[in-house]
Homo-oligomer: A and B are copies of this chain.
Amino acid sequence: MLETFFTPQSVAVVGASRDVEKLGYAVLNNIIISGFAGKIYPINPKADEILDLKAYPSVLDVPDPIDLAVIVIPARFVLAALEECGQKKIPSVVVISAGFREAGREGLEQEMELIKIAQKHNIRLIGPNCLGIINTNVNLNATFAAGMPPGGPIAFMSQSGALGTAVLDMAMAGRIGFSKFVSLGNKADVSEIDLMAAWGEDENSRVILMYVEGVPAGQLFIETAKKITRKKPVVAIKSGVTASGSRAVSSHTGSLAGSEAAYKAAFNQAGIIRAASMEALFDYARAFAYQPPLKGDRIAIVTNAGGPGILATDALERDGLQIPRLSRETTEKLMAKLPGAASAANPVDVLGDALADRFEFALQEVLNDPKVDGVIVIVTPQAMTEIEATAHAVGRLSKKADKPILGCFMGESRINAGIDALWEYGVPNYPYPERAADALAAMSAYRKEQERRIFGVVPIDVDKEPVRELFDRVLDEGRVSIGDAEAWEVLKAYGFNVPRSRLAATPEEAVDIAEEFGYPVVMKIASPDILHKTDVGGVKVNLRSPGDVRDAFDLMIYRAGRYVPGARVWGCQVQEMVHGGREVLLGMSRDPQFGPLVAFGLGGIYVEALKDVSFRVAPFSPREADEMIREIRAYRLLEGVRGEPPSDHMAMVDALLRISQLVTDFPEIVELDINPLMVFEEGRGAMAIDMRLVCLNR
């Protein structure tokens, strides 16, 4: 995929220039000096030769085939140039030029034209409005950035070109290396999804990084990322996290869900590691790219200083990693050789006067310990510390080890030579213990992600047909919401337990039904035009006698007409009253990017006041439903507190999966709340008491 972008045999630079001030010069010059081995064709109607290469007026004049064209001319000429690329059958085009979507309405129209031309000719297109692309593996630097980053196993994509320049400038200083680098620009065609898919197959890329502002085609993004993150880690930083989308919402779920909640859920499900900052992005990347996987959560610390050892311990614990007791053999060996004042426990304190050999001995023993999965080596520059020799010793052991070793050589002036020496062996250094701990935590998160992947989405056997017919009917009638009885048809078809319930058109019918169900009963106004029944006094519970039922019926009918004039009122729904469970809320709202976002929370104040809700994008697996339930802060209440029995966990998982399937099967469902789902004690199941559902008006 996208091979002709990254390993082209030939590259044309449309807009190549002799003027060193022009981007067309920078791009051509970069391709030449980076050492690209394929053919290079400067395209410029006003020159015969540029930078010692024969120039052509148009790509159409080049006698041989061209794999990749880089367009770097003013926006108004780009469409014609792309058309020529199409005629020349160039499969891959990078449009560096700006002045499109980002420049307003006219630019957007130009970009739409660009897309049309690309589609017509089957051209894959990166950009416009980008910095270009780099593949260090074939020495291709098709950007206008100042210089080529060192090669390495990290593939990086950025929606922001300027951020890309900063990243490249950072890389140029060493201690990080890239396989691929792509500035995505406006993403008129090629997006994160294409690059992930391509780089998933790329043997030269051990980790994929992305700076994302927004993703297209949310569901496809998740699907693709799920496959890729199985093979290699994808680390992302998502900007715009606090920007809250302002949409009109009519459900709890809708008001709780926001763009950030959707991204959080989607990245989680896709197995993408989320970095909270740019710094974390590259901290994690270096650990993933240069060290073997972390196969467990047990971390040892080898240090020549107590304080930083404690800081590392704190950070590891905070991150949920373990600082295990070392095995007896290891402890004994350490005690036998280390000075008496040293600590042979974990953290292993080799003392301030440790020379390189003592570090090497301790690290070797710790690595040999089967109870250790990864190591942080902390070196402070004390009077006698052999900084470089220690770094070489750590590096040598790292080359042989199948466990990750992260350096924490602290300081700058004297310590820098040690950091460089470590880097020769691919041991990344973190200037502070907390950052090394966080990087290991990211490695642990990735491993856990891999482990949970054995569980996939499981289709549930449901009866879609009645629901299909119901929606057809509702939409034919021009309604966007459904009534109680209809909601229960849906819930029953999808295998939910619901209380017995029947519509009564008159008070007498209501009494008959109540007698049949047995008292007490619940009554609700039945009207397709009244969504928030409680607001108009349209719900009465605990009705204990025929008199109660009659009074409730008349009162609700009267109030419905008074508060919602013109509402269609079908009567009242009489419902069996359910006791003794815990109320939870299941809901769904549609995220513009990712589609159906399913919410879970405890009912009542937990959702409304405390906003204690978890989200996943549907469809999701049983494992994900399980995590969703455990994720809420109030989860302990579901486990049973104060001697209460635990709530039926599998019934909640089951209900979430059924909702997941329902909203996947019926994209016309825009929002829904099951509130409450009454969950009984372990083994006794759950019952959907009330549902509100809004569907799309065709």
Contacts and interface: CB of A to CB of B under 8 A. Distances in A.
A160 B314 contact: no
A306 B608 contact: no
A433 interface: yes
Contacts of A167: 411
Contacts of A317: 242
A695 interface: no
A129 B103 CA distance: 65
A641 interface: yes
Contacts of A147: 413
A165 B381 contact: yes
A622 interface: no
Contact of A170 (B242, B412, B610): B412
Interface string A246-264: 0000000000000000000
Contact of A307 (B158, B305, B414): B158
B414 A314 contact: no
Interface stretch (A463-471, A557-565, A572-580, A632-640): A632-640
A432 B165 contact: no
Contacts of A172: 411-414
B237 A311 contact: yes
Nearest to A21: B384
Interface stretch (A215-223, A272-280, A515-523): A272-280
Contacts of A307: 158-160, 162-163, 211, 213, 239
A411 B169 contact: yes
Nearest to A608: B641
Contacts of A454: none
Contacts of A311: 237, 239, 277-278
Contact of A163 (B305, B412, B414): B305
A165 B166 CA distance: 31
A315 interface: yes
Interface in A133-185: 144-147, 158-163, 165-170, 172-173
Interface in A101-124: 102-103
Contacts of A243: 313-314
Contact of A103 (B159, B276, B310, B341): B341
B169 A435 contact: no
Nearest to A306: B160
Nearest to A307: B160
A94 interface: no
B240 A412 contact: no
Number of copies of this chain that the complex holds:
2
Interface in A278-294: 278-279
Nearest to A384: B21
Nearest to A281: B432
Contact of A239 (B158, B314, B382, B641): B314
Contacts of A435: 277, 279
A373 interface: no
A434 interface: yes
A336 interface: no
Contacts of A642: 604-605, 608-609
A628 interface: no
Interface in A626-663: 633-634, 636-637, 641-642
A276 B319 CA distance: 13
Contact of A609 (B314, B416, B636): B636
B414 A146 contact: yes
A48 to B, nearest CB: 26
A678 interface: no
Contacts of A146: 381, 383, 414
A415 interface: yes
A26 B308 CA distance: 24
Contacts of A434: 276-279
A383 B26 contact: yes
Which of A165, A166, A416 gathers most chain B CB within 10 Å?
A: A166
A304 interface: yes
A380 B411 contact: no
Which of A165, A315, A608, A642 gathers most chain B CB within 10 Å?
A: A165
Nearest to A387: B169
A641 B610 CA distance: 10
Which of A102, A276, A411, A605 gathers most chain B CB within 10 Å?
A: A411
A81 interface: no
A408 to B, nearest CB: 9
A431 interface: yes
A601 B150 CA distance: 55
A536 to B, nearest CB: 15
Given A160-B305, A169-B413, A415-B166, A240 B314 contact: yes
A165 B315 contact: no
A633 B383 CA distance: 49
A70 to B, nearest CB: 15
14 contacts: A160-B306, A163-B307, A165-B382, A170-B410, A172-B411, A240-B314, A241-B318, A242-B314, A277-B434, A278-B410, A278-B433, A278-B434, A608-B641, A609-B637
Given A163-B410, A169-B415, 13 more contacts: A161-B305, A162-B380, A165-B383, A166-B380, A166-B381, A166-B415, A169-B380, A169-B381, A213-B310, A243-B313, A278-B311, A605-B642, A609-B637
For the complex of A and B, list the 7 residue pairs with the smallest distance between their C-beta atoms, beginning with the closest: A160-B307, A162-B305, A169-B411, A166-B410, A172-B413, A173-B412, A277-B434
